[in-house]
Amino acid sequence: MAIKQISVFLENRAGRLWELADELGKAGVNMRALSIGEAADFGVVRMIVNNPDAAQKMLTDAGFTVAETDVLAVEIPDVPGGLASVLGALKDSGINIEYAYAFVARVGEKAIVSMRVEDASAGEKSLVDAGFSLVDAQKLYTL
């Protein structure tokens, strides 16, 4: 079960991330998770939002460079070693992770890690086979 992640290219200048967040806020888009990767002179903001298709359209219209990417969201036990257990399953299948970011859900004892892997379907299979549950897209968007 792939989750739609919204990525946005941002120039490295003061206020630009605020402009992005402000646009999303005005459009009533709620963020579930946020990660920022930075290079020397630009950054890439990756987000999981409650309404990815609408967010992509709205941001494109507002002049942002946007890409939609499928990522995997996996529930992991919110205990020491939780992340390692998930990564172990991928390691055993030889699947490389491009990037990942974790967040703790509002309720319950689970955390969620969002990952971009080389081969999404193989990644999903190895995780499911190892007994992890992938988070349902609708459930994640409406957390």
Partner 1 sequence: MLYDEKHEAMNRDDLEQLQFTRLQATLERAYGGVPFFRKKFDAAGLKPGDIKSLADLTKIPYMVKQEMRDNYPFGLFATPMDDVVRLHASSGTTGQVTVVGYTQNDIDNWADLIARCLTSYGATKHDMIQVAYGYGLFTGGLGLHYGAERLGGTVIPISGGNTRRQIQVMQDFKATVLCCTPSYALHMAEAAGEMGVDIRNLPLKIGVFGAEPWSESMRAQAEEKMGIDAYDIYGLSEVLGPGVACECEAKDGLHIFEDHFIPEIIDPESGEPLPDGTPGELVFTSLLKEATPVIRYRTRDITTLTHEPCACGRTHARMARVFGRSDDMLIIRGVNVFPSQIEDILVRIEGVEPHYQIIVDREGVMDVVNVQVEVSPEIFSDEIKNLEKLERKIAAAIREDLAIGAKVKLVEPKSIQRSEGKAKRVIDQRDLQK
Question: Which residue's CB is nearer to partner 1, number 29 or number 132?
Answer: 29
d(CA 68, CA 106): 25
Shortest distance (Å) from residue 7 CB to partner 1: 4
Residues 11-50 that bind partner 1 (CB under 8 A): 11, 37-39, 41-42, 44, 46
Please report the beta strands in 78-109, taking only residues with DSSP state E, as ranges in sequence order.
97-104
Question: Which residue's CB is nearer to partner 1, number 41 or number 131?
Answer: 41
Shortest distance (Å) from residue 37 CB to partner 1: 5
d(CA 51, CA 29): 7
Rule CB under 8 A: is residue 7 a binding residue for partner 1? Answer: yes
d(CA 35, CA 103): 10
d(CA 97, CA 87): 9
CB 120 within 8 A of CB 72: yes
Question: Residues in the site for partner 1, rule: CB under 8 A?
Answer: 5, 7, 9-11, 37-39, 41-42, 44, 46, 60, 63-67, 69, 98-99, 116
